[in-house]
Every structure is written in C-alpha cells, then in structure tokens.
A and B are shown apart, each in its own frame.
Chain A
C-alpha cells in the first residue's frame, strides 16, 4: 500500500485549487461559444417548417448537407451570385487594413516615443471613440456626408467641387472610410502596446553604434514590431470581414454589398435562415487559417520572450 506524502498531497490540492480558476472561463466558453456554435450547425443542417421557421437537426445522424451544397453552388455553381460580394469583401478589407496601418502606426509610434508626459492624455484621446457607440459614430458620418452635409459645404466653399458629391450613394470609398474609422482605434491600441514594450536599451545600443534615427527605426523598431503589426491587422481585419452595419448605413446599395450583408440578409429572412447559418460556417472556415496563424505566431512570440 502506497503512502501519499504531505508534500505530494499539498501539490495536488494546489493544482486542484488553481484549476478551479479556469472554471468561469470554461463555462463561459461552453455557454457562449460551444452551445451557440452547435445551434448554428443544427440550423444549417436542418430544414424549414411550413411557416418557414427553421427546424434544427439536433441529432447529427439527421444532418442534411443541402444548405452547405447550396451555398457552394451559390459561390461557384451555375447560379453563383456570392462571388462578387466575396471578392469585394476581401478587396475592401485589405485596402481598409492597409490604410488603417498607415494611419495607426505613426500615431502609436508618436505616442510611445514622443508624447512624453502627455502620453496618458493622448491615450485617453485615442480610446475616446470607444465611449460613443459604434452606431452613433456611423450615424454622425451620415450627417457629415449627406448631400447638404458639412463635408460637401467645405468642399464647395473651397471650390474643390462644383456640385455636391453624392458620398452616400453607393461609393466604395465611403464604405472603406467607414471601416477604417470604425476599427482604427483597436489597431492603434494594439500597436501602442507592442511598441511600448520594445526594450529602450536596444534603441540606445543602436544609436551608440552609430545608427541615425531613421536607420534605428528601420533596423530595430520595425523588425521588433512586426509581430505587433500582424496581431493588430488580424484584430481589425477579422471583424471587418463580417461587418455589415457600416455598409448598410453609409451606402445601402447592392454594388457595395459585402459577405456580412449577405449573411445578415439571410439571417433576418426566416426562409433563408438555414442558408445564412451555412454561409456563416463557411466564412468561419475561410477565416480559420488566419486565426490559427495568429495563435501560432502569438505562441511562438511568447516562447521567444520566455
């Protein structure tokens, strides 16, 4: 008969107690992710009743592939119509992400390196947009951009345009601007956190070895912030891919519709709800490699840091 030593028992108890700390996270994950995810699958693999309400297939043995094959048909088959929305989404998100980076990186760099004692004030200003709801911010743009809005008034007063520009009449540029404006605070915060963590001594060493400011930036700061840039771009690009609200408010024309609008349209139409669920799952599959890449990179970075 083996005897458990007090030390081993103590270690086991400690492990058990620490394990409890993961409880809330696990419960949250199950309730808010696993269960809803299963519901989405059950609806996508289910049917409709006579009132066009979805009848979820809870038993995997009863799952039907119809909605999935139909979505593939919509994407690449004879009656395909999703293609333009899909391509448009990728193009808009890539342009909006790059534009965001061009604006956010210098901003975050300035706050980190040059804001000095005013760093806190700048940080507060950067997160100020979060205090106003996303919807309110987008509605404000409608006031600014409408035909008789302030943007057209300023452009007219400066004689830059002879007649009001129809910014809200289905312009891709307006939608991209909306995406940039809506998501850029997230990118700035991620970049700020990353740049602020760069070891100052490395920069000083570079300067001591004769590098000027530009070369210090190019040889030390930029390479060390590569991981942060990737993280920030993913954090902003992923929600942009599923965005539908920005487009609906700032364009409302079919020619700027994105994949998020299609899913929203399907999910808010009872007869098309199973197809919407299937398309959501398809979008998840498309985005999964990006998410896995993000997780692997983060894991590798934390390994290097250790």
Chain B
C-alpha cells in the first residue's frame, strides 16, 4: 500500500467515528442533519454560518452571574495577564482557575476526551468546525457581551463564524521575519520577496523557523511565490518541503523552535521566522546592555502574508456559563485589553487599540511598531484555515519528513 492509498483510505474511517452526519456550510435549520460527509471549510470567499443545534442552545438572557463559582480557563501557556484575571475575580467575586496547554492538538484531544470541565477555551478558527459539530462549545448569548461593539467590525460577522454565534476574538497576529539588526546586513523589506530572507548562507547556524507545520510549510510556499496557504496540491507541498531542505543545507542546520521571543534577544538566533505578538514582547527578554532597537520585525507592507486570530469560546461543559460570558466580555474592554497586552504582547482587535496608543502607553517600543496588526492586514492577509483531512495529513507528513520530528 502506498502512502497515497493510505491517505485515500483515511476517509474510510469516518464512518466508524460515530459522530453522525456532518453539517453543510451555511446550514440554518436547528438540528438539521443532512447527509454530508465532510465539515464545511470556511474561507473568505466562502463564509460559514454554523448551525445552532436543538440540544445545544445559548443560555437565556438576564441571568445573574454564578455566586462564588470557580471559572476554569483553558489557555495557551503565558498567554494572558494574571493581573487582569485578578481584577475580574474581584469584580465578580469568583475565582478563576487557569490551566495551560502547549499545542492546540493536545488541547483539542483533552477537550474531546471529556476528561476536563473547563468553562472558557482559546481556539483558532481552523478548529472551530470540529468543536461545533461535536457540540463541545456552546453558542453565545450576545446580550452578555456588549463590548463586542469595541471590536473591529470584521469580528461582528467573521467569515469563519458568521454572526459571531460561537466566538469572540481574543488576539490577532501576523507571521513574519524577525532579525538582529546588529548582526545581519540589510532587512527583509529590501528584498523582492522578504520571506526569502532566511535563505542566507552567511548566517549559518543562526537561522530558525517556527515549530508549526502550517506556518513553516507556508513559509516554503511563499518562498516559491505561492500564496495559497491552504493548498491541497501535493506537488506544491513537495516543492515547499524541498525549499525547507535547501534552507537546512544552506545554513548548516536550520533550528526549529517557537522560542523566537527569547532566542533572538539573547543572540542565539539572528534570523527567525516569528509571530508578531512574540516579538512585541522582545523588550522583556533583552540581555542587560542590549537595546531592544537591535531587534527588527518585518511583515509585508501590503498585508499579504500570514495573519491569524485566536478566539475565546464557552465550552459546553461550563458549570458557570454566565461568568464565562462575562469573562469574554471583560477581555473586550479597552482598559483590560491594554493591561493584558502589556504582559502578553499580542494585540487585541479593538478599534481604539491603535499602534499610537500602545507606544504612548509604553507597551510597545517604537522600533517594533511593525508587530501591530492593522485592520487592513486582517482584511488582506492570508489565513491558514482548516483543510480537508486527507490534505491535512499530507501537510503533516511533509513536515515530518522535513523536520524528522524535531
């Protein structure tokens, strides 16, 4: 059996999943279950309105917050400011228990297993389909979240969740290139294709890419001028992998890690494929005597590069759903958002949360203004979205063959 046969056979297991028929894009009837055998794949030109199931309705309006309850938050490591959580606890006389995860796949597996009863979770749009279809998250009651009005209008009707039925935005970020100006000649903006910047032999041993199969294979695609970051073309993926192999050979071993925010400030790496929010926090990790101005971050000025956002959702298992809604609302209020960004680095998409305000509040050094995600980036940017399972396994396989599992 060839690998292609194996991938083709993947669908054969779908029937055994026992999850029933899956729903179509733009579904509308509550509890409708047409015989569709794949999840809808939200795209900018193919927005999805997810169904509201009869047995998974939003909570009623006008309920009081649960008294003395413990709100359980399931979030990425070091991805929220404890000080803001403390203020929320005081305001609503509750306690917040925070559990962290390192990879989204681990988190989804744990939630699917039903072994934990969290209230609030922070997924990316590409995982929404399975969370909604398996009824792991509950639809939101908008009356508890008036602060949505503070967000960019894009999030009132995002293509991945039309009508924001299940999600509110948490952070927005871009994926670009960070570099040490004191060690590296030039900058990516001077290159015709700035995503080719890491391919420089003279910086051997000092180049790193992100440990994320979607992000790094996308880098390989963009190196070759392909901006379809949701491609299902096996040949394009092989080309991307070949480019990453070339990079590894060229720089005498490319490092694969997500420590862009520590390795670049420390000088361990000089050119790093990086997340904007990580680099916005670079000032906190600079060694003594090294100014943060030596760190640069580049993302295409026309906004045509990878952008993404994380969401906050309320899990179906929530024992304090009103508090959970209020928690979502609290993290969409400008003063709390500013305080949260001061620790987290990642921008939140509020209309008044501008680059100028962040610099004025001394949250962001002027030299790293490029890490701010502008609404135009969000509109022109390239989203890495949910793929058909066979294509996703192909991405995973190509990444494994390149990385060796490192």
Question: A interface vs B, CB < 8 Å?
Answer: 46-53, 55, 64-67, 69-70, 73-74, 79, 81, 84-85, 146-148, 166, 168-170, 244, 247-248, 251-258, 260-266, 268-272
User: Measured between alpha carbons, how far is A258 from B267 in the docked complex, in Å?
Assistant: 27
Most chain A CB neighbours (cut-off 10 Å) among B109, B266, B406: B406
Instruction: Determine whether the beta carbon of B268 is less than 8 Å from that of A146.
Output: yes
Chain A residues with CB under 8 A of B252: 169-170
In the bound assembly, the distance between CA atoms of A47 and B390 in angstroms comes to: 12
B217 to chain A, nearest CB (A): 13
Chain A residue at minimal CB-CB distance from B393: A271
Shortest CB–CB separation between residue A239 and chain B, in angstroms? 17
Q: Can you identify 11 A-B contacts, CB atoms within 8 angstroms?
A: A85-B405, A148-B266, A169-B253, A170-B205, A252-B257, A253-B253, A254-B403, A254-B406, A261-B405, A265-B403, A271-B396
Residue B77 CB within 8 A of the other chain: no
User: 0/1 per residue, B147-188, Cβ < 8 Å to A?
Assistant: 000000000000000000000000000000000000000000
- Say yes or no: A49-B17 contact (C-beta < 8 A), given A67-B6, A265-B406: yes
Chain B residues near A266 (CB, 8 Å)?
400, 405
| Residue from B12, B130, B253, B255 in contact with A51 in the complex, judged by beta carbons closer than 8 Å | B130
A64 to B6, CA, bound (A): 11
Rounded to whole angstroms, the CA-CA distance of A200 and B77 in the bound complex is: 57
Let me know if A265 and B400 touch, CB within 8 A.
yes
Report yes or no: A73 in contact with B389, Cβ–Cβ below 8 A. no
Q: A262–B406 Cα gap in the complex (Å)?
A: 7
Contacts A69-B1, A269-B213, A271-B396 given; 9 further ones with Cβ under 8 A? A49-B14, A50-B39, A51-B134, A66-B6, A67-B6, A248-B406, A252-B256, A262-B400, A265-B406
Please, how many angstroms separate the alpha-carbon atoms of A170 and B255 in the complex?
7
Chain B residues within 8 Å of A148, by CB = 266-267, 287
A257 to B211, CA, bound (A): 14
Chain B positions within 8 Å of A261 at CB level:
404-406
Contacts of B211 in A (CB 8 A): 252
Residues of A within 8 A of B266 (CB): 146-148
- In the complex, chain B residues 34-81 whose Cβ is within 8 Å of any chain A Cβ: 37-39
Flag whether B10 is at the interface (Cβ < 8 A).
Answer: yes
Chain B contacts for A47, CB-based, 8 A: 9-10, 12-13, 16
Which residue of the partner chain, among B16, B205, B406, contacts A166 with CB atoms under 8 Å? Answer: B205
In the bound assembly, the distance between CA atoms of A89 and B71 in angstroms comes to: 46
A contact residues around B393 at 8 Å (CB): 48, 52, 271-272
**CB <8 Å contact, A53 and B112:** yes
